[in-house]
Amino acid sequence: MSTPQEVAVIVGVGPGLGASLAHACHAAGMKVALLARSADTSGPLAAGLKGARAYACDATDYGNVDSTFAQIDEDLGAPTLCVYNAGAFEPGSILDISPIDFERCWRVGCLGAFYVGQQAARRMVKAGRGTILFTGATASLRGSARFANLAVGKFGQRALGQSMARELGPHNVHVAHVIIDGQILSPRYRHLLDDRGPDSLLDPDAIAAQYLNLHAQPRSAWTQELDLRPWVEKF
């Protein structure tokens, strides 16, 4: 009996890491669901990947997440890999941050991770296998000045990942949190290489390769937290 084709759900697709994850999962032979707030973002990427589909989904809206996962079940099948890569951040002084901006960043960084993680977990526990990965940041570990909007959501996302890993591991569902400790290379930041030197920014394709390594890990040696940084980054 042939093994069913795997299904990857990537939430938070943009021109950087999200796009690299889409290409990596597609190259690995997976069917890929690309989720972004607007299909204008994910649609062109999906069009270039055979078997990929784009979905407009607001990760902070429970009903929208629920219906999107139901549609993915119908279109592609239940996910075997789910990556939560959505994020929102507006730097600002604690004296000036608006409650609306603070809540929005928390909803994207933490609440959306819960909504998506729960939907993926329900399907994976039923199937008896799967991998759920969360994209963290330096702010997952350290709340720096003017970074409250990012750090609070990322701290919560990290705690969510730890709780899920402990509960879902016995069900053969691997949950891991990846700390991206540095700036990810993108067309917008390519000019920084001239000042910092080669490989001073994280290559999104290299990050995506590590995500697939986590998905392929044997359960006798699972990683719960992985930190990635350029070789020149101080830590």
At 198-221, the pLDDT tens digits run 788 999 999 999 999 999 999 999
Q: How confident is the model over 149-159, as a mean pLDDT?
A: 97
Q: What's the pLDDT at 89?
A: 82
Q: Which amino acid is at 105?
A: C
> Can you give the pLDDT at residue 2?
57
Residue 191 has pLDDT above 80, yes or no: no
pLDDT in tens, 56-90: 999 999 999 999 999 999 999 999 999 999 988 88
Mapping DSSP to helix (H, G, I), strand (E, B) and coil, where does residue 127 land?
A: helix
For 8-34, b where at least 16 C-beta lie within 10 A, e where not — what string?
bbbbbbbebbbbbbbbbbbeeebbbbb
pLDDT in tens, 163-185: 999 999 999 999 999 999 999 98
pLDDT band at 39 (very low <50, low <70, confident <90, very high): confident
**Per-range mean pLDDT, top range of 39-43, 178-182, 229-233:** 178-182
How many Å apart are CA 49 and CA 209, to the nearest integer?
18
For the residues 129-133, what does the mean pLDDT come to?
98
Tell me what the pLDDT averaged over the chain comes to: 94
| Predicted pLDDT of residue 149 | 94
Which residue has tokens 């999962």? 25
All structural domains of the chain, each given as residue ranges with its CATH number in brackets, are 7-228 (3.40.50.720)
- Is pLDDT larger for residue 125 or for residue 91? 125
- The pLDDT of residue 126 is 98
Q: What is the C-alpha R_g of the chain? A: 17
Residue 194: its pLDDT value, please? 74
**According to the model, what pLDDT value does residue 1 have?**
54
List all residues 6 or more positions away from 80 whose beta carbon is below 8 Å from its beta carbon. 6, 7, 8, 30, 124, 127, 129, 130, 131
In the structure encoding, which two tokens stand for residue 115, read together? 């909504």
Give backbone dihedrals phi and psi of 167, rounded to 5 degrees, phi first.
Answer: -80, -40
132 vs 116: CA distance, rounded Å: 10
What is the pLDDT, as a whole number, of residue 162? 98
Burial 64-99 (b: 16+ CB within 10 A, else e): bbeebbeebeeebbbbbbbbbbbbbbeeeeeeebee
Report the alpha-carbon distance of residue 50 to residue 43 in Å, rounded: 12
